[in-house]
C-alpha cells in the first residue's frame, strides 16, 4: 500500500509539472501575441515596405512547391496546377527582444494587418484561393523579424505550344511571378538560393515527362515603370506511348489490311471494292478523331504527314484494283496481220471486215483487234 501511494504521488507530481509547463508556454504565447499587437498598433504602416525608410528595395525570396501538375491541353493550350507559394522577407518593424519563438498566424485579421508583397501571375488564365476547410494561408514571424508568408493556390497557366512535330514534340511551359504595384525601386523578387521550384513526391504527368526545370529572374517594362518578375521554365518531352497505341498501330494495320486485296481473285469485284472503300473510310475516320483533339493551326504537323501517307497507300491499293480490273477485262490485242482477203491460217479461211478492220476466222473466232 505504501509503494502504491508513492507511485501515485510521483505520477501526480509529473502531471502537475507538465501542466505548469504547458500553462507557462500558453501564457508566453499569449504574451508574444500581445507584444505583436502592440507592435502593429504602434507606428506600423502596412502600406509601406519594410525598407521604405531606408529608400531601398525590399528583397523577397520566392519558392514554389507544386502539389499537382495537370495535363496540358493542346486545344486550349493551358494546364492546371495546385501549388504552395512561399515568400520570405525581413521586416525589422516586427522584431522585438521579448519575442523568443516563432509565431504562426492564420487569423485573417492578423494577416491583413502586416505588409505583404503584392505579386501576381502574369501568364495565369484563372486562379482560385483554397478555403477548405479553412483559408489556406500561413504567416510565420521569427524572433529576428524574418517573415514567411505561405498560401495555397489553384492556377491555370497558358502554354503556347508549337505542334509542328506532334506527337514527337518537346514543349517549354512557364510559370511567371511578378510584382503588381511596386516597381523595382521598391520591391525586388528573387528565387530561393537552393531548389526554388520543388515538385511533389511521386508527381507524374499523364502525357509528358519533365526533363528539367530552369528558374530565372526577369524584368517587365511598362510605361509607368519597371517591375521585378520571376520565371520558372518547365522543359517537357511528350510520351509517345498513348499515340503509338491509339494512332500509329491502328493506321498501320488498316494499311496492311488494304494490301490483302492484292492476293484476291481479280474477278472478285465486290469483295475487293468493299475492302478498298472500307479501309479508306477507316483511315479517314481515324484522322478525323485525331484532329478533333488538336487545335486548327495553319502549319502542317507530323501526324498530318503520317495520316496523309497512310491515306495515300490505301488509295493506291484501291487504284491498283481499278487498273488491274480494267486491263483484265480488255481483250488481248496484237498488231494487225498483213494478210490478203481469202487467205488461210492453219487451214481456216481469214476474212477482214470492211467497216472495223478486224481479221476473223470464219465463221466463229476473233483473232485480234487492231486498227
Among 119, 215, 232, smallest CA distance to 176 is for: 232
Among the listed ranges 26-35, 201-210, 331-340, which one has the minimum average pLDDT value? 331-340
Predicted confidence band of residue 30 (pLDDT cuts 50, 70, 90): low
pLDDT tens figures, 348-360: 444 554 455 444 5
Q: Does the pLDDT value for residue 20 go beyond 90?
A: no
pLDDT tens figures, 277-324: 999 999 999 999 988 888 888 899 999 999 999 999 999 998 988 888
Q: CA-CA distance, 208 to 231, in Å (whole number)?
A: 20
Pairwise pLDDT comparison (247 vs 111), residue with the higher score: 247
Among 354, 269, 255, smallest CA distance to 309 is for: 255
CATH numbers and ranges of domains, the chain: 43-239 (2.70.170.10), 242-329 (1.20.58.390), 334-371 (no CATH)
pLDDT given for residue 363 in this prediction = 47
DSSP states of 154-216: EEEEE-----TTTTS-EEEEEEEEEESS--TTTEEEEE-SS-SEEEPTT---SSEEEEEEEEE
Q: Model-level pTM? A: 0.76
Q: CA-CA distance, 60 to 86, in Å (whole number)?
A: 10
CA–centroid distance for 158 within its chain? 10
pLDDT given for residue 17 in this prediction = 39
Q: CA-CA distance, 73 to 293, in Å (whole number)?
A: 9
Q: CA-CA distance, 357 to 371, in Å (whole number)?
A: 6
Taking phi first (over 0 means left), then psi (-120 to 50 degrees means alpha), and beta for anything else, what does residue 202 get? left
Residue 227, exposed/middle/buried by CB under 10 A (0-12, 13-18, 19+)?
Answer: buried
pLDDT given for residue 273 in this prediction = 86
Residue at grid coordinates 526554388:
196
State mean pLDDT over 59-80: 92
pLDDT tens figures, 89-137: 999 888 877 777 888 887 777 788 889 999 999 999 999 988 888 888 9
Amino acid at each position: 500500500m505504501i509503494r502504491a501511494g508513492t507511485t501515485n504521488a510521483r505520477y501526480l507530481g509529473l502531471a502537475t509539472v507538465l501542466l505548469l509547463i504547458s500553462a507557462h508556454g500558453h501564457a508566453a504565447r499569449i504574451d508574444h501575441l500581445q507584444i505583436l499587437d502592440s507592435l502593429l498598433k504602434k507606428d506600423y504602416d502596412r502600406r509601406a515596405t519594410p525598407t521604405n525608410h531606408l529608400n531601398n528595395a525590399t528583397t523577397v525570396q520566392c519558392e514554389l512547391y507544386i502539389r499537382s501538375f495537370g495535363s496540358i491541353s493542346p486545344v486550349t493550350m493551358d494546364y492546371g496546377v495546385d501549388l504552395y507559394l512561399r515568400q520570405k522577407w525581413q521586416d525589422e518593424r516586427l522584431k522585438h527582444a521579448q519575442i523568443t519563438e516563432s509565431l504562426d498566424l492564420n487569423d485573417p485579421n492578423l494577416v491583413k494587418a502586416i505588409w505583404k508583397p503584392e505579386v501576381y501571375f502574369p501568364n495565369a488564365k484563372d486562379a482560385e484561393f483554397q478555403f477548405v476547410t479553412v483559408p489556406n494561408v500561413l504567416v510565420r514571424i521569427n524572433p529576428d523579424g524574418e517573415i514567411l508568408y505561405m498560401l495555397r493556390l489553384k492556377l491555370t497557366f497558358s502554354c503556347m505550344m508549337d505542334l509542328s512535330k506532334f506527337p514527337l514534340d518537346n514543349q517549354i511551359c512557364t510559370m511567371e511571378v511578378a510584382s503588381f504595384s511596386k516597381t523595382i525601386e521598391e520591391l525586388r523578387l528573387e528565387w530561393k538560393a537552393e531548389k526554388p521550384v520543388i515538385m511533389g513526391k511521386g508527381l507524374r504527368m499523364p502525357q509528358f515527362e519533365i526533363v528539367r526545370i530552369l528558374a530565372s529572374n526577369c524584368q517587365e517594362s511598362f510605361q509607368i515603370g519597371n517591375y521585378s518578375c520571376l520565371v520558372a521554365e518547365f522543359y517537357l518531352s511528350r510520351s509517345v506511348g498513348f499515340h503509338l497505341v491509339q494512332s500509329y498501330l491502328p493506321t498501320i494495320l488498316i494499311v496492311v489490311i488494304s494490301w490483302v486485296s492484292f492476293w484476291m481473285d481479280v474477278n472478285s469485284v465486290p469483295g475487293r471494292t468493299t475492302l478498298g472503300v472500307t479501309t479508306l473510310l477507316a483511315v479517314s475516320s481515324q484522322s478525323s478523331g485525331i484532329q478533333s483533339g488538336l487545335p486548327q493551326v495553319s502549319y502542317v504537323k507530323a501526324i498530318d504527314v503520317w495520316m496523309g501517307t497512310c491515306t495515300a497507300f490505301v488509295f493506291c491499293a484501291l487504284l491498283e484494283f481499278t487498273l488491274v480490273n480494267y486491263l483484265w477485262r480488255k481483250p488481248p490485242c496484237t498488231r494487225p496481220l498483213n494478210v490478203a482477203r481469202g487467205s488461210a491460217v492453219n487451214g481456216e479461211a481469214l476474212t477482214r471486215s470492211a467497216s472495223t478492220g478486224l481479221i476473223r476466222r470464219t465463221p466463229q473466232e476473233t483473232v485480234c483487234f487492231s486498227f
